[in-house]
Structure 1
């Protein structure tokens, strides 16, 4: 198991639904993504726990791309990975942001 932590400046304020957002299923070749509100002085923090060690540079590229597309403020992103491909990671992250916007109070 490997744990990777990243922090990015956020620009987009988020209105969270009453509960945190969880997408995906932690199973072979997949992952789950949890988005939670957190007091991070406008930053987005990402923690990845993965069964596949040695892929830090790939994770950094995928997460940096996500942060550039979705610069969320005061959001903790937790990823539990069971060997998902970068495409699946991006899909799940986008799915989590969509669920966040759909479930946010208006």
Structure 2
């Protein structure tokens, strides 16, 4: 099991918790919690080791477009970069649909 930590600057606050996905073969779970720290604090727990740079690239791409201040926990079970991007976007959409993102 590998644990990766990342931090990205943010200007928008997540107002409520969000949860998407499941920990299962080829998928991942994303848990988001509000934070007023001015950055996204991301922890990735994965059984697939050696992919720090790939995770960083996928997350940088997401946060360059979506600068939310939140504590984000990702529990990975071998998801591809496409699935990671999809789940991150899905979590953000769920939050926006529920009115969770402060503008």
2:19 maps to what in 1? 22
> Which of residues 81, 87, 90 in structure 2 aligns to 1:86?
81
Q: Secondary structure at the match of 1:91?
A: helix
Following superposition, the deviation at residue 30 of structure 1 comes to 0.4
Q: Secondary structure at the match of 1:48?
A: strand
Q: Secondary structure at the match of 2:68?
A: coil
Following superposition, the deviation at residue 69 of structure 1 comes to 1.2
1:10 maps to what in 2? 10
Q: List aligned pairs for 1:1-106, cutoff 5 A.
A: 1-16=1-16, 20-40=17-37, 42-73=38-69, 75-104=70-99
Counterpart-to-counterpart distance in 1, 2:98 and 2:90: 12
TM-score, with normalisation over the residues of structure 1?
Answer: 0.89
Larger strand percent? 2
- The one-character-per-residue Cα deviations of 1:3-57 (angstroms, maximum 9, x if unpaired) are 00000110223332xxx211001101100001101242x1111100001000000
Q: Secondary structure at the match of 1:94?
A: helix
TM-score, with normalisation over the residues of structure 2?
Answer: 0.91
Q: Which runs of 4+ in 1 moved over 4 A?
A: none
What is the total number of aligned residue pairs between the two structures?
101
